[in-house]
Amino acid sequence: MEDQMYITMAKILNGEATAAEQQEFRTWLAADPRNTEAFNELKAVWTEADVLLEAPRFAHEPAWDKVSSRLFTADKAEEPARKVIAFRPWMKYMTAAAAVLAIGVIFLKNFNQEARMVSVLASADNQEITLPDNSHITLKKGSKLEYPKKFDEAERHVALEGEAFFDVTRNEKQPFTIDAGAATVRVLGTSFDVKSGKEVAVVVSTGKVSVTSMVKEDVSVVLTPGEKGIVSDSQAHKQTVRSDNHLYWKTGELLFSNKSLEHVLGELQAYTGSRIRFADKTDAEVKEQEVNISFHKQSLENMLTDLCLVTKTRWTKKGSEYIISSKQNATPQALCCYLRAVAADRCLLCTAIRSAVTPLCSKKEDSQHQAVHRVHTARDWHRDFLEQFLHERKQAGHRYRNRTNSR
């Protein structure tokens, strides 16, 4: 085995191997079963080295005895039940050398990793980041990005937990790779959105992006602008994206054209992380009505209010859940209170309007005043009240003129 492969294995165990080195390592493992056995031995040494580093003081002689006893179990006959792998003498010395190398890499990692890596957590809000190659990243609130202060000459590698939008500076000689959990994202220069996790979701705005499973190389998709790819350990598929709504977390903008109310509410629920549902026994006609609407940096409640205005529905909140129901016609009592609120200027016509509708009202003044406040501040009732107000105004105007002419 070449010394370089031991170095590659050490990088694999330390999480510092490049994409090319990972590929080389997988090819080497598949070439010979003995390679897997050798790697497992080194992995055991690596684990032992981590335990040793946790001790207050590092005793070199006992540590080496402990490590070598794990490496050379093939020379001991006290465990007949275990499968024994006979190493040639030169392999023992090479493995021992690799153990020393592994321990050295651990020390190097402990002392220098903080100096070489930058870790950014967007804890309070979305955060803008400029990388050493002048690539720009918008990191979603609650997400984390790690990258080196200086990229390797062979590639630019970063690690993402959460979601971020990347605008990558093009450099064909230095590919840009993202460790996103279940998959690796690889580009030359483009802009795209990445959501990491057990399923990695990528939506491309410009350029071309390759997304490959970390477990199976043949599980991958190549995406172009307007396409979304979802890759897990064993599956990959893509679909067409017809809007930029997936960037709501970044832009605060949503656009819905010829979509059903049910679809719009489902999207709002997904993008805001809130619970939204229809009230029980809501008619299918209400759910399926077509909606054309856009939102720009609005709160969820403001978006629901605007949506209810154009769909003749209303929303209420129960605990943490928003419930959408059909809007009922305004009662005469509520209409009376609304008219009293909007007719507060005491003009002659408004007086006539109040006189015309007063008989419809309850005589409990406290309840009326409470209703005035409720109705006046409920935007989703405004349209129905306004329509009825205009009708009542017309009728009251007729009655007022009739009374004036009779005097």
Name the nearest CA neighbour of 394 among 349, 336, 358, 355.
Answer: 349
Residue 204 token pair: 């491309």
Residue 130 shares a structural domain with residue 227:
yes
Residue 259 shares a structural domain with residue 283:
yes
Task: Please tell me the total count of domains within the chain.
Answer: 4
On whether residue 126 sits in a domain, the answer given is: yes
Residue 283 shares a structural domain with residue 340:
no
What pLDDT score does 389 carry?
56
Name the nearest CA neighbour of 229 among 207, 199, 263, 250.
Answer: 199
Report how far Cα 144 is from the mean position of its chain's Cα atoms. Answer: 11
Mean pLDDT of each 10-residue bin along the chain, 407 residues long: 68 75 82 80 66 48 53 47 47 55 54 70 93 94 94 92 94 92 89 93 93 90 94 92 90 93 94 93 92 92 91 91 79 53 46 47 44 44 54 56 55
What pLDDT score does 325 carry?
92
Residue 102 shares a structural domain with residue 133:
no
On whether residue 248 sits in a domain, the answer given is: no
**pTM greater than 0.85:** no
Domain that holds residue 259: 253-326
Residue 338 shares a structural domain with residue 322:
no
Choosing from 219, 240, 261, the residue where a domain stops is: 240
What pLDDT score does 391 carry?
56
Residue-by-residue DSSP string for 38-67: HHHHHHHHHHHHHHHHTSSS--HHHHHHHH
On whether residue 312 sits in a domain, the answer given is: yes
Q: pLDDT for 70-99, tens place per residue? A: 544 544 444 444 444 454 554 555 555 555
Choosing from 87, 115, 143, the residue where a domain stops is: 115
Q: How far apart are CA 262 and CA 267, in angstroms?
A: 9
Name the nearest CA neighbour of 261 among 238, 284, 280.
Answer: 284
Q: Give 197's DSSP letter.
A: B
Looking at residue 183, which CATH number applies to its domain? 2.60.120.1440
Choosing from 286, 308, 326, the residue where a domain stops is: 326
Residue-by-residue DSSP string for 170-221: P-TTS-EEEE-BSEEEEESS-EEEEE-BSSEEEEEEES-EEEEESS-TT-EE
What pLDDT score does 101 carry?
58
On whether residue 245 sits in a domain, the answer given is: no
